[in-house]
Structure 1
């Protein structure tokens, strides 16, 4: 990971850890010798993931079954982040999207999305950074998305939430760097995680070349964290996309966003 993290507690806490990018982080970090705290809603799948990692890599794996869109769920994970056995790396991967245009969605569903994609990231990052800055080491990776760069997706609160995650991570990353702590936004494009199928989102029109592998996203994200980057965009194709989004005229971006018909490039799971 980072030079600082080499001297950090070798314990990583990963949210959304039972599937997709979160599970890929768990496998990679366990293989690298980290003990783990895995957080997800599905207790059975979470326990199965923990048992497999323990058997394969002989690491200590704790589990917390929690819904991070609720106050109780966030409180349970905050309590673990503040416990005596310190966490050296937090991966905020849990997130969600809605397969419904904003004007037809229930406000309760929109509020749940914001609680999970925004408020939970804020709360857990805040809880983790206190002990990390006191120790003078540690790192936080917040899973964002290329959907948060420049293009307001039609009727999507998701892209707005990911724009917040990226901006938040970059801002907080600058503020804690003098303490020896790193915060980075990891912003993948379309990633094979199984999320879209579970959400009932038809992705059949997305060409195969646009898809990323979760393991590759994790590998590049950890490399960029070692380099001290505040924002990581895995894959050269998406690097070009993001560079174009950052410099394209707003009117052109609005035209592109209409053509997407509400589809989003989602990395988190």
Structure 2
């Protein structure tokens, strides 16, 4: 356990799964904690357990990130609390069924929780951290950002958004002491599957990573300064080739002339 005080880490979706493990690991690293989620009883139980084991200060913050007022309250905390040095944007939800089986209410909720909330919180944290030239932001995305065809496109799209804002922010943060990372888990053992009515072990037998392994690997990537961390990807060369192809294409994506293949021929 680290005895060096690292500041305070604010972790969203901290009542279970990936967020709960991040809370445990960050306390071990010397962070005090602000744990944000809807289920206060579970947050309080986790807070008591962490404080008893590590001696770290742990605060519980009730926040329903599908509610714009609760998002704003967390934004204010990030902007005003100078002790906060790390944001873990972990809260997220999935859908039962696809875009074809869900109405506007469910679609709006997943976009609010998975896109609006983490974007606004990342913005508040980044602005505060840059002003102090110190801090870190960890956005929990998904490998589905790269393969939206594998499951529902809405969930995949929300996670692609997190990858995009992470990469864009990383470029803006060059030369500062503020770091940003997107973590892309594959199938991971967490309650998000049960809530969406999916049996992940039946869907992907032998492919489900334990939550603790995922978080430990992600923190190794954070320590190394990675912008994109993909714990289940065995062959890193595949991602490097993907990035190289993306960057090679970038200068050719905006031109005055239409590409010849799209010109009308008599």
TM-score in terms of structure 1 length: 0.83
CA distance in 2 between counterparts of 1:121 and 1:130 reads 14
1:61-76 superposed matches below 5 A:
61-76=58-73
Aligned to 1:165: 162
Runs of 4+ residues deviating >2 angstroms: 83-86, 150-156, 235-248
Q: How many Å apart are 1:194 and its aligned residue? A: 2.8
2:79 pairs with 1:88: no
Q: How many Å apart are 1:153 and its aligned residue? A: 4.1
2:36 pairs with 1:36: no
1:211-230 superposed matches below 5 A:
211-230=208-227
CA distance in 1 between counterparts of 2:167 and 2:243 reads 15
What SS is found at the alignment partner of 2:220? helix
Structure 1 residues 101 and 223 mapped into 2: Cα distance closer, same or farther (>3 Å)?
Answer: same
What SS is found at the alignment partner of 1:218? helix
After superposition, give the CA deviation of every residue in 1:205-230 in whole Å (9 maximum; x if it has no partner). Answer: 3122x111211211121111121111
CA distance in 2 between counterparts of 1:160 and 1:36 reads 30
Instruction: Determine if contact 2:88/2:137 at 8 Å carries over to the other structure.
Output: yes
1:109-188 superposed matches below 5 A:
109-153=106-150, 155-188=152-185
Gaps of 5+ in 2: 246-266
CA distance in 2 between counterparts of 1:100 and 1:244 reads 33
CA distance in 2 between counterparts of 1:205 and 1:84 reads 43
TM-score in terms of structure 2 length: 0.84
Aligned to 1:234: 231
Instruction: Determine if contact 1:13/1:37 at 8 Å carries over to the other structure.
Output: yes
Q: How many Å apart are 1:156 and its aligned residue? A: 2.8
What SS is found at the alignment partner of 1:14? strand
1:50 to 35, 47, 52: 47
User: CA RMSD, aligned part only?
Assistant: 2.4
Aligned to 1:27: 24
Instruction: Determine if contact 1:224/1:232 at 8 Å carries over to the other structure.
Output: yes
Higher Cα Rg, which structure:
2
Structure 1 residues 170 and 8 mapped into 2: Cα distance closer, same or farther (>3 Å)?
Answer: farther
1:207 to 205, 214, 219: 205
Structure 1 residues 242 and 37 mapped into 2: Cα distance closer, same or farther (>3 Å)?
Answer: same
Instruction: Determine if contact 1:40/1:67 at 8 Å carries over to the other structure.
Output: yes
Instruction: Determine if contact 1:20/1:192 at 8 Å carries over to the other structure.
Output: yes
Aligned to 2:258: none
Instruction: Determine if contact 1:97/1:158 at 8 Å carries over to the other structure.
Output: yes
Q: Which moved more, 1:163-172 or 1:145-154?
A: 145-154
1:244-259 superposed matches below 5 A:
none
Structure 1 residues 121 and 8 mapped into 2: Cα distance closer, same or farther (>3 Å)?
Answer: farther
What SS is found at the alignment partner of 2:36? strand
- Number of aligned positions between the proteins: 242
Bigger RCO (CA 8 Å, 6+ sep): 1
Gaps of 5+ in 1: 1-6, 249-269
